[in-house]
Structure 1
Amino acid sequence: MSIYWSDYVESNCRQNYSYIASSAFLKNAYHFTALFTIPLAIFTFYVIVRVTPRKMKNMKIPLLIAHAWTTNLDLMITVNVTPVIFFPSAAGLPSGLLGSIGFNAKWLAYFGQVSIIMNGVCFVILLENRHAQITTIKFKIQRKRTRLIYFGINYFLAFFLMLTFYMEESDQLELRQIVLKRIPCPTIDFYDKNAIVLLKGGELLPFLSISGGLSIIVIQSLFFALHTIYHLNVVKNAHISEATKALQRKFLSYVAMQVMIPWTALVCPILYSLYADSNNYYNQALNNISMLLMACHGLMSTLCTLFIMKPYRDFVKSVIMGSEEPDTKRLWATSVVRSQASMLGSVA
């Protein structure tokens, strides 16, 4: 790597860094992860389209949208951007495909952030889908046009909350001097031509934008989730059988597990970055490991989709075992019939 930035200082401190702290390790790990996640993501698209049973037809489009954004985030991390992040600072190096062909590093960071926010919006989409299927709920989105406008606003906010900040010009040498006060001896990758510093620390606009976006997603998620849980467990209606409610509870639990389990792969690195920022702690090896964990988000999300939902799990099992494909169209109908039979037997 050729030294680009004029703030480079020759030092022996970099000799203490291990291979795990290098960008070469992280790029190889990213690409190795992509060897598994990309084929699995393609297979999952096929499974959702091909195997989704009639009882889950209302979930098919939201599941496809959520999986598309999950796959996009996975590709952004493992192939297109492959970010090397220098916590505790808001600085990084895009070392992936898009950076190598000349895309501006700042806009790569922007699209990466939008991809993460959109995964949160997809969580809202899945919860709203479950909310809309509960017949006892009167206050819900019923018209398709209204739903398109509603989520169009969410998409707009996801793309434009941070846009103003990214359009501002910044003096990179000035920002780098601030970073070097916190990290006196960063790895050699910090002096790469494409390395960029986004924040000097304490900026109000990014804080308000991120806090506002997070609040919007959390508030919507809590409303749809809690309102749905309340109507499934508290509200009584003679026209809705317990078997139907049990099925709706099962779908809601699927959505919760499908989203919350992969989100741990995003939340843990974020929590680590907050710890590093508050303690001025720099450990590039841990930085790389935390980003590698984030890159596992796509793999965890795909596996949750394939193995949490029974129709998909049975289909995958039939593919692995080479057995006859299960009749997924009748699967949920059979489950409901059995539940109703059990209820009648208990009453008798």
Structure 2
Amino acid sequence: MSLRDYYVANYSKCDVKYNFLASWKGVAYPSHLIQVIACPFQILTFYIIIQKTPKNMKSVAWPLFLNHFLCAMLDVALCTLSTAYIFLPISGIFGVGLLSWLGVPSIVQLIFGVIIAISAVCSYVYLFESRSSSLLQNRFRISRKSTRIIYHRIIFFYNCAILLVFFKTPSDQEAAKLEALTIYPCPTREFFEFPVLIVLSDQKTAQFVTYIFIPSMFLQTALNILFHVFCTVYYLYIAPSKSVSTETQKNQKSFLVGIFFQTCIPLVNIAAPIVILSVAHSLGFYSQEMMNLSAVFVGLHGLVESIAIVTVHHHYRKSVKRMFLNKFCKQHRSTVFVGTNDRGSNSLWSRGAI
């Protein structure tokens, strides 16, 4: 049986409730709109980091800039370049973004997206490691550049091992799709109308990736971040240096709290839909509307991350307030000046002076 035969003979019997949210438009249009809204905030955040970073934060200015750049790139990939329509139960995916419109194969887009996502995750480790290593009293600080490069490369390449999964992608996609339909017999009609890529047809490999390897990636990343957080907290709160001024320590504590919330807020934005989907799938419930809504919600990551940076850091928050207040005051003074000129001209005209 071919896919066409299945669609004619079997799919017509499926009772699939089709609506906008379940369609490809329910992923593409909201995601593109999110990118349009997020772009000004991302540009503002770049400007704030480059121009408004105080001297006491210069040691982490580059890690903060790199983290924001990679998060913005992830947002562009998710919402514009490689917006994905995902069939979760069968590891099926196709793109509805700009690269798909240009004819870039789905497998290339998927590899590109995974590398960007891994880089963004690793940038958080780099951010916390830089904060920890900037404390001279920290016995575990990484002081040598070569050691830092080796350390972060190990983390990056361990996470990149997930790319080996793509060597298991079925070469016969027609047969893989028919096999996937035995697991999920009634997908939305996009499954038959678009060039869907079945990433994994081997259920054992899919279970290994889903339940063992991906959790191990998140675990090792979380443990690295927690280690650097522990070192920073210990040497700032429990055993602070006596040679560092109180004002400097206060700034260091404030920045630590800032990057903690800067990390947690976008993390919750990504983790919440993943947890909900996992629980629903384990209970035997799945809907394409839920999948598409989760993809859109994850696409908010860049907007949330940008807003978090300029609001949780005290100095950045003050800089943004000052920028908008100055702009408002200039416009107000200009309006008052023009209004005064108008009234003055009118009065002179009325007196016959002009």
Q: TM-score, normalised by structure 1?
A: 0.84
User: Which shifted more, 197-206 or 277-286?
Assistant: 197-206
Deviation at 1:179, TM superposition (A): 3.0
% identity of equivalent residues: 27
Alignment RMSD (CA, Å):
2.4
Structure-1 residue corresponding to 2:142: 141
Structure-2 residue corresponding to 1:74: 75
Structure-2 residue corresponding to 1:252: 256
Deviation at 1:178, TM superposition (A): 4.0
Equivalences for 1:125-136 in 2 at 5 Å? 125-136=126-137
Larger radius of gyration: 2
Structure-2 residue corresponding to 1:168: 168
Q: Cα–Cα, structure 1 residues 11 and 110, in superposed 2: closer, same or farther, change >3 Å? A: same
Structure-1 residue corresponding to 2:346: none
Deviation at 1:213, TM superposition (A): 2.3
Deviation at 1:12, TM superposition (A): 6.0
Contact 2:22–2:288 at 8 Å: present in 1 too? Answer: yes
User: Which shifted more, 14-23 or 43-52?
Assistant: 14-23
Contact 1:87–1:276 at 8 Å: present in 2 too? Answer: no
Cα deviation 1:145-196 (Å, max 9, x = unaligned): 32233223333334x3122221334133343234323332111111234211
Distance 2:127 2:59 in 1: 10
Alignment counterpart, residue 221 of structure 1, candidates 193, 211, 225:
225
Distance 1:276 1:34 in 2: 28
Which amino acid is the alignment partner of residue 166 of structure 1? F
Which amino acid is the alignment partner of residue 232 of structure 1? L
Deviation at 1:14, TM superposition (A): 5.6
Secondary structure of the structure 2 residue equivalent to 1:85? strand
Number of residue pairs matched by the alignment: 322
Which amino acid is the alignment partner of residue 119 of structure 2? M
Contact 1:71–1:298 at 8 Å: present in 2 too? Answer: yes
Distance 1:189 1:222 in 2: 42
Distance 2:46 2:6 in 1: 47
Structure-1 residue corresponding to 2:316: 312
Contact 2:16–2:186 at 8 Å: present in 1 too? Answer: no
Mind listing any 5+ residue stretches in structure 2 that lack a counterpart? 331-354
Structure-1 residue corresponding to 2:349: none
Contact 1:161–1:209 at 8 Å: present in 2 too? Answer: no
Equivalences for 1:48-67 in 2 at 5 Å? 48-67=49-68
Which amino acid is the alignment partner of residue 263 of structure 2? V
Q: Cα–Cα, structure 1 residues 6 and 102, in superposed 2: closer, same or farther, change >3 Å? A: farther
Mind listing any 5+ residue stretches in structure 1 that lack a counterpart? 326-348
Contact 2:92–2:196 at 8 Å: present in 1 too? Answer: yes
Secondary structure of the structure 1 residue equivalent to 2:93? strand
Contact 1:124–1:221 at 8 Å: present in 2 too? Answer: yes
Relative contact order, higher structure (CA 8 A, sep 6+): 1
Note if 1:232 corresponds to 2:236.
yes
Deviation at 1:114, TM superposition (A): 2.5
User: Which shifted more, 298-307 or 44-53?
Assistant: 44-53
Distance 2:32 2:240 in 1: 52
Secondary structure of the structure 1 residue equivalent to 2:155? helix
Q: Cα–Cα, structure 1 residues 236 and 77, in superposed 2: closer, same or farther, change >3 Å? A: closer
Equivalences for 1:56-205 in 2 at 5 Å? 56-158=57-159, 160-170=160-170, 171-200=172-201, 201-203=203-205
Structure-2 residue corresponding to 1:279: 283
Q: Cα–Cα, structure 1 residues 146 and 324, in superposed 2: closer, same or farther, change >3 Å? A: farther
Q: TM-score, normalised by structure 2?
A: 0.83
Deviation at 1:94, TM superposition (A): 0.9
Cα deviation 1:229-257 (Å, max 9, x = unaligned): 12222215432344433322211111111
Structure-1 residue corresponding to 2:214: 210
Which amino acid is the alignment partner of residue 310 of structure 1? H
